[in-house]
Amino acid sequence: MADTRFNINSNEYLPLRDVVFNTLRDAILTGKLVPGERLMENQLAEKLGVSRTPVREALRMLELENLVELVPRKGAQVLDMSEKDIINILEVRGVLEGLATGLACKKMGAEGLAELKSLEESFEKAISEKALEEIAEIDEQFHNVIFASTDNDKLIQIFNNLQIQLYRYRMAHLKLDSSIPAIVAHHKGIIRAIENHDVEEGTTMAQGHVKYHTEFILRAVRNKETK
């Protein structure tokens, strides 16, 4: 039986390697490809209708993002993270979020603030519709606007890498409905701090936001492990 969990996301403007990379990354982040699953070059090439070369190149790119592990003589498999890995990433993310929000309190202009408020409205609408993937995407955009306002390319690059690694675990966490009202409150507190140019409050709110996320992400991971 053919694997129907995902199909190639065609884009005529991207090299085939990047198209395959984006397709596989999306499948990993949304749970269509699960941690520990073997990724065979020949099978993926046949399924996606491409040669093995772009598949091999895409797998190497996924390895750089810590989404895939390439094992000599065994091939590739979707990388799983230990609880310690997740805690370590979230500890770093908490520091980065605090730094970025503090900088946003100093640097963000009226346009960026208006975008944050608009995203928060869309976020609450997605919550009311129980659209989990949309909730995750809007939340990601919300934080991207904050990091973009720092005008610090290195900070943004590090944040993006951590965000990609955690996406699949955040999706599991969002299924715990009790966490959603607190996320809304945190977002509004962050917006208020940026609007008031309150660096200390913004830093504290952002770090508290990540700390709260940590609790639910770990709970989601532990629930999965016990099933």
Which position has the token pair 């999706």?
171
Judge whether 32 and 5 are in contact, CB under 8 Å.
yes
At 18-39, the pLDDT tens digits run 999 999 998 888 778 888 899 9
Average pLDDT, the chain: 87
Residue 2 predicted with pLDDT over 60: no
Helix axes 83-107, 180-195, angle to 10 degrees: 30
At 93-110, the pLDDT tens digits run 999 999 999 999 999 999
pTM > 0.85: yes or no: no
Which residues is 70 bridged to in the sheet? 76
Positions of E strands within 33-184:
38-39, 68-71, 75-78
Flag the least confident range among 43-57, 59-73, 91-105, 165-179: 165-179
Which position has the token pair 């675990």?
169
**pLDDT score recorded for residue 172:** 65
Helix axes 153-174, 83-107, angle to 10 degrees: 120
